[in-house]
Amino acid sequence: MIPPASGFALDRAWTADVRALLFDFDGPVCRLFEGHDTGRMADDLREILRGHDADLTGLEQERNAHTILRRMRGVASAALAEAEKWLTERECEAVSTAQLTPGVRDLIEGLSIPLAVASNNAWDAIDGCLRREGLLERFTGGIHGRDPREPWRMKPHSDCIERALRGLGVVDRAGVALIGDSEADAEAAREAGIAFIGFVPEGRTNAARLTELGARAVVAEMEVLTRAFVPR
């Protein structure tokens, strides 16, 4: 566990006051695209958008399909619909074989506070995974994926977090935290006024950046969160 610059730690004194948890999906809950060529996905999405004469200025070398889609504000509705449908299908294909993140089942099943998902992924993919794994009922605050009509509101925009907070009926945001693995997650949590816990498994190198963005703590293993949040 890497404490943030503020010096706060992920200890029971703080976690006991957390009244609801939000989970990002790809990373914290499952390894959605592990083993997939995400760079090829970005290339294929660009080809779809080029077929609609979409402006891809500045995105010629982008290797993340979600970033490309998020930048398509103002594109023709037909282009947006085809791109969104294509990416959702790729996510649903990937989720059919995706494995849960090690340790996350114990965390989710052990928590007694309300949970919700706030993600840039499609609702269908998230629902499919949680339903298959028998975890869907644990997320009483609902699944809040990207808005297919307005994908530019993906994180770092706080839209999906705001929808999750409404789904949970949250009044006091001081008692809510998001578990995420990216800078976009950290920025969205900050915009929404909730705490952020960074998840950076071994091999990732963004722990320091998440700390700079205000993470309450950064952990490499879900077991750390289980020890902190689940009473023994």
Residues 82, 161 within the same domain = no
Same domain, 53 and 155: no
């993470």: which residue's tokens?
A: 215
For residue 190, the enclosing domain spans 12-31+100-229
Indicate whether 16 and 70 sit together in one domain. no
Where residue 144 sits, what CATH number does that domain have?
3.40.50.1000
Segment 124-142, tens digit of pLDDT: 999 999 999 999 999 999 9
Whether residue 125 is found in the same domain as residue 198: yes
Say yes or no: 129 and 71 in one domain: no
CA 40 to chain centroid = 21
- Total structural domains within the chain: 2
On the question of pLDDT at 1 being above 90, the answer is no
Domain assignment present for residue 5? The answer is no
Confidence of residue 84 (pLDDT cuts 50, 70, 90): very high
Record the tokens describing residue 34, joined without a space.
């592990």
Is the distance from CB of 173 to CB of 119 less than 8 angstroms? Answer: no
* Same domain membership, residue 18 and residue 45: no
- Bridge partners, 100 (sequence order): 30
Task: Answer whether residue 3 is part of any domain.
Answer: no
Q: Does some domain include residue 205?
A: yes
21 and 58 belong to one structural domain:
no
Whether 206 and 155 map to the same domain: the answer is: yes
Selection from 48, 113, 34 nearest residue 87 by Cα: 48
Residue 2 lies in a domain: no
Closest to 201 (Cα-Cα) out of 100, 52, 118: 100
pLDDT computed for residue 4 by the predictor? 37
pLDDT in tens, 155-210: 999 999 999 999 999 989 999 999 999 999 999 999 999 999 999 998 888 999 99
> Are residue 68 and residue 135 in the same domain, yes or no?
no
Structural element, H or E, at residue 191: helix 183-192
**DSSP class per residue in 90-133:** HHHHHHTTPPBPTTHHHHHHH--S-EEEE-SS-HHHHHHHHHHT
The C-alpha angle 214, 204, 191, rounded to 5 degrees, equals 25
Whether the CB-CB separation of 94 and 68 falls below 8 Å is answered with: no
C-beta separation of 180 from 199 below 8 A: yes
What is the average per-residue pLDDT within 21-40? 96
Domain shared by 132 and 182, yes or no: yes
The amino acid present at 178, given as its one-letter code, is L
In a domain, 7, yes or no: no
More confident of the two residues 9 and 78: 78
**Do residues 22 and 52 share a domain?**
no
Written as one letter, the residue type at 94 is A
Asked if residue 196 lies in contact with residue 216, where contact means CB atoms within 8 angstroms, the answer is yes
DSSP state of 142: -
Mean pLDDT score of the chain: 94
Please, are residues 99 and 135 in contact by the beta-carbon 8 Å criterion?
no
Report helix, strand or coil for 64. coil
User: What digits encode the pLDDT tens for the residues 8-24?
Assistant: 457 778 899 999 999 99
What is the rounded distance in angstroms from the CA atom of residue 65 to the CA atom of residue 44? 9
Contact of 192 with 158, CB cutoff 8 Å: yes
Whether 90 and 106 map to the same domain: the answer is: no
Return the axis-axis angle of helices 159-168 and 183-192, rounded to nearest 10°: 60
